[in-house]
Amino acid sequence: MRYEAPESVQGAVALLAAANGDARVLAGGTDLLVQMRADVVEPELIVDIKRIRETRAVTQENGGWRIGAAVTGAELKEHAPLKQAWPGVVEAANLIGSTQVQGRATLGGNLCNGSPAADSVPALIAAGAVAKLAGPHGQRDLPVEDVMLGPRTLALRPGEFVVSFLLPPRPPRSADAYLRFIPRTEMDIAVVGAGVSIAVDGAGTITAARVSLGAVAPRVLLVAEAAQAIIGSRLDDAAQERLAAAARAACRPIDDKRGTTEFRVDVAGVLARRAALIAMDRARTR
């Protein structure tokens, strides 16, 4: 196995594109190393992207925020303006693992690991985040909901990797939230995750919304019907019911010892509603 740590995006792309055999991007390694140790993957080349400036920076861009794909959860937590603008994204990233894992785990790794239960992904999708990909044919933008196609299957082309994410500008009176359900109180894989982003007008009526659900289908879902169910409402009881029903209707979950299909579907409705209430509360108070 060869290990390379290029210092530029082009350098990383050149290595990935030229590789024959299994080449893997390495960010924090909290998924990849576990898989390597279990012999699930045996890469011939590892391209560590942490020395590339663009993957490690959090910067303002056209009123939004650009977050490098290799920025860690612990670093996001320390970034006060980002936390203020996108509390749901940051709280989702901070749910990943222990303090030891937080210091390494990244948004890019969480997405590209390709798990339908990845915690930060519903939050990024609800936020309307767009991934910037770099590859042998240049760079392109892809909404996060289009990056993952199924378990361990991504829309990335050969030689491509995620450089960063762009979170759009925040209108006034808008906010997001993420909630997950796990059987234990911490350090567990989400049985359901729900991310909601909401904007309200001066009268408290919802003008825009995005709802995303994790761990209830082969990929993380953007549920347009759930957003439609609350746009134009003040999130009264009837709107909450419509939201929960739309969230449940979108689920196609697995059935396993950690949660039956019926249970996951039910919890998806509950979490979507609760996350919406939190996002609403935050949106109204700013």
Partner 1 sequence: MIRLTVNGQAHELDVPSYRTLLDCLRYDLGLTGSKEGCGVGVCGACTVLLDGKMISSCIALAVFADGREVTTVEGLAEDERLHPVQQAFMDAGGFQCGICTPGQVVAAKALLDAIPHPSEAEIKEWMLGNLCRCTGYYKIVESIQAAAGQARA
Residue 229: CB minimum distance to ligand FAD, A: 27
Dig out the tokens for 40 from the structure: 């699930």
Q: Which is nearer to ligand FAD, 36 or 277 (CB)?
A: 36
The only residue of 20, 62, 100, 285 in contact with partner 1, by rule CB under 8 A: 100
Q: What is the contact mask toward partner 1 in residues 15 to 54, using x (rule: CB under 8 A)? A: --------------xx--xx-xxx-------x-x------
Count residues near ligand FAD (CB under 6 A). Answer: 30
Interacting positions 88-117 with ligand FAD (CB under 6 A): 95-98, 101, 104-106, 108-110, 112-113
Q: Which does 48 bind (CB under 5 to 8 A by kind): ligand FAD, partner 1, none?
A: partner 1
Q: Which does 99 bind (CB under 5 to 8 A by kind): ligand FAD, partner 1, none?
A: partner 1
CB-nearest residue to ligand FAD: 109
Binding residues for partner 1, rule: CB under 8 A, are 1-3, 5, 29-30, 33-34, 36-38, 46, 48, 74, 97-101, 103-104, 186-187
Binding residues for ligand FAD, rule: CB under 6 A, are 24-32, 34, 49, 69, 95-98, 101, 104-106, 108-110, 112-113, 118-119, 161-162, 187
